[in-house]
Amino acid sequence: MSSDRFRLDGRLAFITGAGRGIGRACARALADAGAEVWLAARTRDELESAAAEVRADGGRAHTVVVDVTVPDQLRKAIAALPSLDVFVNNAGANIPEPFVDVTDEHLDRLLNLNVRSAFIGAQAAAKKMLASADRRAGGGAIINMSSQMGHVGAVNRTVYCMTKHALEGLTKAMALELAPNGIRVVSIAPTFIETPMTKPMFAKPEFGQWVRDRIPAGRVGQPEDVAAAVVFAASPAASLVTGTSLVIDGGWTAQ
């Protein structure tokens, strides 16, 4: 098999939550594979820093300051793109806490970010792809950033698990509707990844040990582990992959 099947030359990719962590790694990896990347997030300084890294490696990068929880901002940002081949629906958050202590505010915040904005972003991306009259063979790819918690449950993560299970269902339903148009939809389901979001959790030694004890592969994930799966899912090499989840969990969900 030619390595060209993993290339994304001539394609345009839009990544939400691209200023840090997994989103930032995805932007760099997609650019390394040849894609022109558009990085979207709320914080301009983080976006510009991430874009500078891409450009320093010889890639093409643009930044879009957008709050994905504001529907009109997200829709306009996607509609304004010159074209769209790959959409990485990555923005998300978690608030670990006991089920009985979850407040309405925390419930609404995670549902709004992890589910509602993900739906709106995916919908806008699909519309943009469908509107492309010169759609190349193989269509587009919409990649929803899920979690291993979209496949199992966990203590103190009821809302997060609920939102990621919802995203897995959305992926399957979208894939069925969009397949006739050549648009693939795949979810990526990582285990615990070392990112700015999880850094405060791993600062507690007992938490880090609890995580490592449950990953048969023996190590915590890195953003690059997830980014590699995203590049595959976006590439022609994954042309028959749709409506499913790529679980990047070191064996967590096999137990």
Q: Which two tokens stand for residue 93?
A: 């958050």
Q: What percent of the chain has pLDDT over 90?
A: 92
What's the domain count of the chain?
Answer: 1
Give the C-alpha separation, 70 to 68, whole Å. 5
Summarised one tens digit per residue, pLDDT across range 16-47 is: 999 999 999 999 999 999 999 999 999 999 99
* pLDDT at residue 132, rounded to an integer: 76
Domain presence at residue 137: yes
Domain presence at residue 252: no
Summarised one tens digit per residue, pLDDT across range 121-146 is: 999 999 999 997 555 545 799 999 99
Arithmetic mean of pLDDT, 54-61: 98
How sure is the predictor about 196, in pLDDT bands with cuts at 50, 70 and 90?
A: confident
- Indicate if the pLDDT at residue 201 is higher than 70: yes
Summarised one tens digit per residue, pLDDT across range 64-75 is: 999 999 999 999
CATH of the domain at 65: 3.40.50.720
* pLDDT at residue 107, rounded to an integer: 98
Q: Which residue segment(s) compose the domain that 42 sits in?
A: 3-247
Arithmetic mean of pLDDT, 213-227: 96
Domain presence at residue 253: no
Domain presence at residue 231: yes
How sure is the predictor about 199, in pLDDT bands with cuts at 50, 70 and 90?
A: confident
Give the C-alpha separation, 181 to 129, whole Å. 9
Q: Which two tokens stand for residue 29?
A: 């990896």
Domain presence at residue 174: yes
Asked whether 51 and 39 are in contact (CB, 8 A), the reply is yes
- Distant-in-sequence, close-in-space partners of 56: CB < 8 Å, separation ≥ 6: none
Domain presence at residue 255: no
- Indicate if the pLDDT at residue 11 is higher than 90: yes
- Distant-in-sequence, close-in-space partners of 162: CB < 8 Å, separation ≥ 6: none
Q: Which two tokens stand for residue 81?
A: 């793109």
User: Which residues are tagged catalytic?
Assistant: 160, 164
Domain presence at residue 254: no
Mean pLDDT (the chain, rounded) = 95
Summarised one tens digit per residue, pLDDT across range 139-165 is: 799 999 999 999 999 999 999 999 999
Summarised one tens digit per residue, pLDDT across range 81-124 is: 999 999 999 999 999 999 999 999 999 999 999 999 999 999 99
Q: Which two tokens stand for residue 71?
A: 């529907």
